[in-house]
Amino acid sequence: MAEKDPSGYARLPFLKESALEMIRCRVCHVKYKDLNHRHLARHGLTPAEYKTEFKVRTTKSLETRLKITLRNKANWKLPQYRRHMTTKIKSARAADRKKYSRMRKDLWNDPIYLKKMQTFQKSEKRRKRVSHQMKEQWKNPKNRAKAQKAIQALWNNPLSKANILRKRFSDPNVKRKIGLARKKAFRDPKQKTKWYKARWGKRSL
C-alpha cells in the first residue's frame, strides 16, 4: 500500500521494478504505472497540460503501453469492436474537417491574409515551386496515367470542353499568340489555299 508523507502526497515503499515498468510524476516525484487524469487532477493539471509543461511525450510506462497495444490488437479481431472503432474514427475525422473548414473560412475572410495570399500566388517563387512539384509528379508513370485519364474525361464532356476553351481563349496572351500564328500561316500560299477550300468548298484564290 502507498504511504503518505507530511506533504500530503502518497509515497510508495521501495519498489524493485525497473524504470520501464514505472513512470515518475514530475510534480510529486512518486512512481506509477500510469499517470492518469485523476492523479494529474490532484495537481490541477490535465494530461495535455502536463505534457506541455514538463515536455514529455507520454504519461504511461512502457509496460502499460505494451499491454494497451496487445489488448487493442486482440480486440481488433472482434467484428463488433472493429465496427465501433471505425465509426468513432470516421466521426472524429468529420469533426476535424469541419473544424479546419471553419478555420480556413475565417482566414480567407481576413483582408490582410487575403492580400498576402494573393500576392504570394502571383509571385515567381510560388510559380517555380508549383512547376517543380508538377515535374516531379509527372515523372511517376502512375500519376501521369491518372492525370491523362482525368484530362481525357474532362475533354470528352462537352460542357467541360466548352468551359476550358472559353477560359483559354479569354486570355489576351493566348489570343495574341493565335493571331500571330494565323498571320504567319496565311502568308504561305498552300495554307491560304487550303483555308479557302475548307471555308468555301472548291473556291480558291
What is the distance, to the nearest Å, from the Cα of residue 66 to the centroid of all Cα atoms in its chain? 30
Domain that holds residue 109: 78-121
Check residue 201 and give its pLDDT: 64
14/67 same-domain check: yes
130/171 same-domain check: yes
Residue 201 DSSP symbol: T
Asked if residue 200 is part of any domain, the answer here is: no
Check residue 1 and give its pLDDT: 41
Asked if residue 193 is part of any domain, the answer here is: no
Task: Tell which wins on pLDDT, 166 or 7.
Answer: 166
Asked if residue 92 is part of any domain, the answer here is: yes
Over residues 90-104, the mean pLDDT reads 89
128/176 same-domain check: yes
Tell which residue, 55, 37, 54, 59, has the closest CA to residue 46.
37
53/95 same-domain check: no
**Residues 174, 180 contacting (CB under 8 angstroms):** no
In the predicted structure, residue 11 carries a pLDDT above the cut 60:
no
Collect all residues with Cβ–Cβ distance below 8 Å to 202 and sequence separation of at least 6. Answer: none
Three-class HEC string of 34-66 = ECCHHHHHHCCCCHHHHHHHHCCCCCECHHHHH
Cα separation, 96 vs 89, whole angstroms = 11
Asked if residue 201 is part of any domain, the answer here is: no
Asked if residue 84 is part of any domain, the answer here is: yes
Tens digits of residue pLDDT in 112-166:
888 888 888 888 888 888 888 888 888 888 888 888 888 888 878 888 777 777 7
Over residues 94-115, the mean pLDDT reads 88
**What's the grid cell of residue 74?**
486482440
In the predicted structure, residue 110 carries a pLDDT above the cut 80:
yes
Tens digits of residue pLDDT in 23-76:
888 889 888 888 888 899 999 999 889 988 888 888 888 888 888 889 888 888
Give the count of domains, the chain. Answer: 3
26/57 same-domain check: yes
What is the distance, to the nearest Å, from the Cα of residue 95 to the centroid of all Cα atoms in its chain? 15
Cα separation, 66 vs 72, whole angstroms = 10
Tell which residue, 77, 60, 59, has the closest CA to residue 68.
60
Asked if residue 7 is part of any domain, the answer here is: yes
